[in-house]
Structure formats: C-alpha cells, structure tokens
Amino acid sequence: MDTAKSEQIKAGLQKSFRSGKSSKASTVCYGYRVDSKSKLKIYPDEAAHVVYIFEKFATGVSLAKISDALFLMDIPSPTGKEIWSKETISKILGNEKYTGDVTLGKTQVKNGVQVKTIDLSNKTTLMNHHPAIISKELFDSVQKERSRRHRLRER
C-alpha cells in the first residue's frame, strides 16, 4: 500500500474515533455482550468474574493464584479453557473498558506489526461510553498495584 493511502486510512480512523462513531468502541470483551442496537451491555455472569479478578488483585493476590482460584471455581477462561493464563488476567486488569470508558487508537501497525501507540495525540477516550463493571477507583488502585509489582520485578 502506498504511503498516501495509508495516511488517508489513518486519518479516517482518527476522525471516526473523535466523532465517537467508530465501531471499534463497541468491540466486545469478557463481561460484555452487544445488544440489538450494537451497544455494549453487561453480561452478569462474566461481570461477576471480572469484579472478582479486580478485587483479588487489588488485595495483593497474584495472577497465578487468581488463575488457580478461577479453575477451582470451575470458571472457564474467555476462550473456554479450564485454566486462565496469567496474560489473560493481566489484560483484563489493564483494560479501561471495564470502567465504562473506551480508549481508541491504543495500537498502530508499524512494519506489519501491531505495537502500542506512544503518540498520545493518536488516542481518543470516550468517557462513560457504556455501563461500567468496576469503579474507576478500583481500576486506578489496580493500575497502581500493577505498576508497583512491575517495579519490584525489575530490581
């Protein structure tokens, strides 16, 4: 694809992000379903598991122990596996969508590889886009705990 076409596509995506009309905003994640109007709605059974994951992590429980507990409670992973991967749990913990907000433009493709966006001007956050499963306070608390644990591993 030529550079001009690529830039046009990126500009179109950014425009749809800023207008709030991007279908990417309603991409389903664990704990949600899409209703007949293409809006995200809470799926209560899975939402309870999301709350459990956030609350346990916030109180200091490790990803491995959360995975073990979900297995013992006979709760399959989002892909239907018996055992939840630590990566899946970590992705749930880092997803602001559970607070009711959506951040678009978090990744971009460079040289055919999807990478996190560093340029904040490419990100758009839609506040209160859909019903929240967890509070912003719990989400922020978990992000601080994730950061603290990450710093401990780097030592």
| pLDDT one-digit tens code per residue, 25-60 | 557 799 999 998 888 999 999 999 999 999 999 999
Q: Coil, helix or strand for 3? A: helix
User: What was the pLDDT predicted at 107?
Assistant: 60
Residue 121 has pLDDT above 60, yes or no: yes
Specify whether the CB–CB gap between 101 and 82 falls below 8 A.
Answer: no
User: What was the pLDDT predicted at 104?
Assistant: 74
Residue 107, both tokens: 């990744």
Query: Nearest to residue 101, comparing CAs of 75, 73, 71, 135?
Result: 135
Residue 67 has pLDDT above 90, yes or no: yes
Specify whether the CB–CB gap between 105 and 24 falls below 8 A.
Answer: no
CATH topology of domain 26-148: Hect, E3 ligase catalytic domain fold (3.90.1750)
Residue 37, both tokens: 């109007």
Domain regions of the chain by residue span: 26-148
Instruction: Name the average pLDDT for the chain.
Output: 83
User: What was the pLDDT predicted at 153?
Assistant: 74
Mean pLDDT computed over 66-95: 97
- How many whole angstroms separate alpha carbon 78 and alpha carbon 73? 15
Within 10 angstroms of residue 46's Cβ, the number of other Cβ atoms is 17
pTM: 0.77
